[in-house]
Structure 1
C-alpha cells in the first residue's frame, strides 16, 4: 500500500533538529536568486548593446551592399539598377563612389573616407536621423554639399557658419613619368560643408558624404562606380532579396547584407555573451552545492524516520521523490525570485535608465537593455538541470538508506 506523498513529506520534515538545515536551504535560495537575477541582467545588457550597435549602424549602412568581385570599381550599366529594382521589396538603389581622399579646411588637413552617393541616399538613408547640425540633403538648389562626421569636424575645426571657407578635397592622378609640376599630380575640388552627423566613433572620425557626381569628378571615375547601396521596404526578407540580386547580377558581383559588414563585431558580442552565461551558470551551480549538503544532512538525520515511513507503507520511490521535491522547492523558489527581480530591474532600466554610462560623450545616457524570451528560457533550463544534478545524489542515497533499513 502506497503511503500518500503529502502525508509522508509532512511527517518527514517534522522535528526540532532541522533549524540548521533550514538556514542552509534559505541561504541556497538567496544565492540562487541573486545568481539568476545577475544572469538575466547581464544577458539583457548584452542584448541591449547589440541592439544599440545595430540601430547605430543601421543609420549608416544600407540593407544590402553590392560590390565588384574583383577590383574596387566597375563599369556602370543602367541595366543593373533595373534588375535590382525589379525585385519585390526593393525601395531604392544608391550609386556609390568611395575612396580615401585628403581634405583641407583653412590650415588643417587630414585623410578621410569620402563616400559619394546618389539621390536615393537622401530619400532612404537613416543619416538624417543622426544629424547634429546643418541640413541633410546633399544637393540643394543644384548645389552640392558635404555631410561631415563630428570627429572630422573637430580635427579640422570646421564651422558651418563660416561661408568664406570651403572644404578642399585632393586625390592623386594616375600620372606617368616626366611630370614635374605638382599641380598636375592631383585633382582638387571644393565643396561647401552642409551638415554634421554623429553615429559612432569610427564613422564620425573618418567619413564625409558628398554627391556622387562630385566624387566621380574628383576620382576621374567617369562612368564607373564603387558599389550599389540597396534599401528595402519594411518587412522585406533581406536574405531572400540578397539571393535574388546575386542570381540576377551573376558572379561578377559580391552581395552582402548590411549587418554582414560588421559580422565580426556581432560574433564577438555573442561569444562574450556565451561566456558570461556560462560563468554565471557556473556560479549558480556552485551555489547549488548548498542544496546538495542540506539534502545530504537531511538524509543522515532522518534515517530512523525513513524506516518508520516504510513501516507505514511508503515506497523507496516515494522517499526519493520527497528529496527531489525538496531540492526543487529550494532551487525553483530562488530562481523564481531571481527571475522576477532580474526582469523587473531590466524593465526599470529600459524605461527609466537607472544606471548611467558615466560619460558625457556616450551615445546613450544609460546602459541599454533588452529582455529576450530565449534568454529567460535558457536560464530556467540551466537551473532545472543544475537542481536535478544537485538533488539526485542525496535522493538516491535516501533510497539506498531505505533499502538498508528494509534489509535490517
Structure 2
C-alpha cells in the first residue's frame, strides 16, 4: 500500500480538531468543481455553435472543392481535373463559375455573387432541402435562364418568392478597352427569371449575396467560355474521405487547392476556434484562483497535524514521505472537484440538449434555434480533466514544500 496516499486519504475524510479546516476543504472542492463545470458547459456551447454552423454549410457547399491556385478560373478540360473526375470514388462532379455582378430589379439594385452550376448540382448538395416558395428547383427551361436568390437578397431587391418579369444582371466586359463615350458598352447585360423559389442557408454570406443559376448563363455573363471557377465533388458512400482527399491533393499538386467543407469556410471556423481557445484560457485562470483555496486548506491541515507528523517521524517516516502526504491531499481535492464538476457539467449539458433550459433571451425567435446549442466532445472532457489535475498539482507543489520546511 502507498503509505503517503493512505494517510492523505484518512486526513481528507477524517474529522479535524478545528472544524474550519473541514469547511475550507469543502470550499476548495466546490471551487474546483464549479470552475470545472464552467469549462465543460462553456466549451460544449462553443462546440454546439460550431456544429450548428457546419450543418448549415453542408446544404450548399460540396464535400470537396477544387479551385485554381493562380487566377480565378482554369480550363474545364484540364487533364489534371479530368483525372480527378474519373477517380472511382467520385460519385458526382460539378463545374461551377462564380463572380461578382450587379443585379437590378425594378428600382432596386445590389452587388451580388452569381454562381453558375451544372445540372447535377442538386445531386451534389442538399439544395432542394433549403428551398422556400411555391415553385420548384430549376435553373433553365428552354431558352429561359432561371436564377434562385438567397432569401435576404430577395428582401433587399424586393422580389418576393417569385419575381415577375426579368431581373437585369450586369458584369464588366473582360476583354478590350473601356469606352468612356458609351458606358453601357463596357458591360455585359443578361436577364434572369424566377422559378418561384428562394434558398435559405441561414448564413448571411449566402442568403444576402448569392444568385444560383446555370453554368451556361454564368459563362456568357463573365466571358468564361470553356472555363470553370471550381470543380466540386461528392464521393461515393463508404469512401475513405481522408484517403481520397489525399490522392486528389497528390494529383492536383501545386496547381489547385483541394478543400473540404471546413476548409472552404476556414475564416469562420478559425474565428470560432480562437474564441473557444480564449474562453478556455480565461476559465483556466478562474480555476487557478479557485485552487488557492486548496493552499489555505493544506497550510491549516499541516498546522493541525503537527503532532501526528512527529509521531510519523518517530515511526520512521521520512520528510519526503510527509511532504507527499500533503501533496496527495491537494491532488485528491483537485481530482474530487474535477470529477464532480465534469459530472455536473455533463448533466447540465444533457438538460440543455433535451429541454433547452437556457434560451437566447430577447433574441429568441430571431435565430434558427431558440436556446443555446450544446455538443459534448469527449476529447474536450479529457483536456479539461488533465488541465484541472495539472493546475491543482502545480498550485500546491511549491506551497506544500515551503510550509513543510518552515513549519514541520
Q: Same fold (TM over 0.5)?
A: yes
Q: How many residues align?
A: 401
- Larger-Rg structure: 1
CA–CA distance in 2 between the matches of 1:45 and 1:319?
Answer: 43
C-alpha displacement of 1:307: 1.3
C-alpha displacement of 1:8: 8.7
CA–CA distance in 1 between the matches of 2:342 and 2:254?
Answer: 50
C-alpha displacement of 1:333: 2.0
1:241 aligns with 2:239: no
Partner in structure 2 of residue 197 of structure 1? 199
1:220 aligns with 2:223: yes
1:320 aligns with 2:291: no
CA–CA distance in 1 between the matches of 2:177 and 2:293?
Answer: 79
- Per-residue CA deviations over 1:156-187 (Å, capped at 9, x if unaligned) read 1112355x322221223345466855554433
Identify the match of residue 388 of structure 1 among 389, 393, 407: 393
Q: 1:33 touches 1:335 (CA, 8 Å); kept in 2?
A: yes
- Structure 2 unaligned segments of length 5 or more: list them: none
1:335 aligns with 2:338: yes
C-alpha displacement of 1:197: 1.4
C-alpha displacement of 1:295: 0.8
Partner in structure 2 of residue 155 of structure 1? 156
Task: State the SS of the aligned residue for 1:355.
Answer: coil
CA–CA distance in 2 between the matches of 1:301 and 1:355?
Answer: 45
- Per-residue CA deviations over 1:28-65 (Å, capped at 9, x if unaligned) read 11111110000001111121222222222222222222
Alignment of 1:51-200 (within 5 A): 51-77=51-77, 82-135=82-135, 137-139=137-139, 142=142, 144-161=145-162, 164-173=164-173, 174-176=175-177, 180-181=181-182, 183-194=184-195, 195-199=197-201, 200=203
Partner in structure 2 of residue 363 of structure 1? 368
Deviates more, 1:82-91 or 1:110-119: 82-91
1:31 aligns with 2:36: no
Deviates more, 1:75-84 or 1:41-50: 75-84
Q: 1:68 touches 1:74 (CA, 8 Å); kept in 2?
A: yes
- Per-residue CA deviations over 1:245-286 (Å, capped at 9, x if unaligned) read 344455443333332232233222222222221221221111
Task: State the SS of the aligned residue for 1:100.
Answer: strand
Question: TM-score under structure 2 normalisation?
Answer: 0.87
Question: RMSD between aligned alpha carbons?
Answer: 3.0
Partner in structure 1 of residue 213 of structure 2? 210
CA–CA distance in 2 between the matches of 1:107 and 1:307?
Answer: 92
Residues 185, 5 of structure 1: alpha-carbon distance in 2 compared, 3 angstrom cutoff: closer
Identify the match of residue 271 of structure 1 among 271, 274, 280: 274
Residues 49, 14 of structure 1: alpha-carbon distance in 2 compared, 3 angstrom cutoff: closer
CA–CA distance in 1 between the matches of 2:393 and 2:34?
Answer: 19
CA–CA distance in 1 between the matches of 2:278 and 2:396?
Answer: 26
Q: 1:134 touches 1:196 (CA, 8 Å); kept in 2?
A: no
Residues 324, 250 of structure 1: alpha-carbon distance in 2 compared, 3 angstrom cutoff: closer
Q: 1:63 touches 1:238 (CA, 8 Å); kept in 2?
A: no
Q: 1:319 touches 1:395 (CA, 8 Å); kept in 2?
A: no
CA–CA distance in 2 between the matches of 1:354 and 1:213?
Answer: 50
